[in-house]
Amino acid sequence: MTTAIPDDLRADVETLWDYHDMHHERRPCDVGIGLGSHDLGVATFTAELFRAEMFPLIVFTGANAPTTIERFPRGEAVHYREQAISLGVPAEAILIEPAATNTGENIELTRRLLTENGIHPSSVMLISRPYQQRRAYATCRKLWPEVDVICASRPLPLDEYVKDIGDADRVINMIVGDTQRITEYAKRGFAIPQDVSPDVEIAFKRLVKAGYTSRLV
């Protein structure tokens, strides 16, 4: 296990890393939605945004995936909620959606949960891993087109993020997988299409050729 991006892959990984960042300017929204994953930093940053009054209500959404079951045995949303409460977020400001197993379900089940609670937001902030922003955005625009959506992630440089996760290969595989999903999920009707530049396509293909294929669909 390595905690550093190999020098010969750095340019390609950085190309994909920047592509997935939507570079949205943060502004107050009705609801903050923390998307479950292996990255507990999502919950930490959601709590930080709540304290900065970016939104008055949080929904944490996520059950488990093979990559999270050991770390979060009670489910991603449950552990995220506990992390946020430990950081000072009032329990009454958090709803949890504990059943979603993919990004589409994150959006659909969160929307249903809010509706059941009489909440009909006009704007939401999706808080995710940095390289999940574009896919989360495209999915939300497809499934919840009437809501204004902003994406946010911990503002960490690539190397710092990899060091925090502790596994460069895992991060690269996830970034490569998310890049493929931008095109593939649009084809399948799961998300709106997103532009993919030639530079992104070339970087993606080189990383696949280098063996980073474990997260491809």
Name the token pair of 52. 């900065």
Least confident of 64-73, 103-112, 117-126: 64-73
The confidence score (pLDDT) of residue 71 equals 83
29 neighbors 124 (Cβ within 8 angstroms): yes
The confidence score (pLDDT) of residue 69 equals 82
Nearest of 186, 115, 214 to residue 107 by alpha carbon: 115
The Cα–Cα gap between 215 and 217 comes to 6
pLDDT band at residue 81, thresholds of 50, 70 and 90? very high
- Residue entry with tokens 């949960």: 113
The confidence score (pLDDT) of residue 138 equals 98
The Cα–Cα gap between 93 and 99 comes to 19
pTM here?
0.95
pLDDT band at residue 70, thresholds of 50, 70 and 90? confident
67: pLDDT strictly greater than 80: no
The Cα–Cα gap between 175 and 212 comes to 9
3-state secondary structure of 194: coil
Please write the tens of the pLDDT for every residue from 141-193: 999 999 999 999 999 999 999 999 999 999 999 999 999 999 999 999 999 99
* Spatial CB neighbours of 58, under 8 Å, sequence gap ≥ 6: 31, 32, 33, 34, 46, 50, 84, 89, 93, 94, 95
* Spatial CB neighbours of 27, under 8 Å, sequence gap ≥ 6: 54, 150
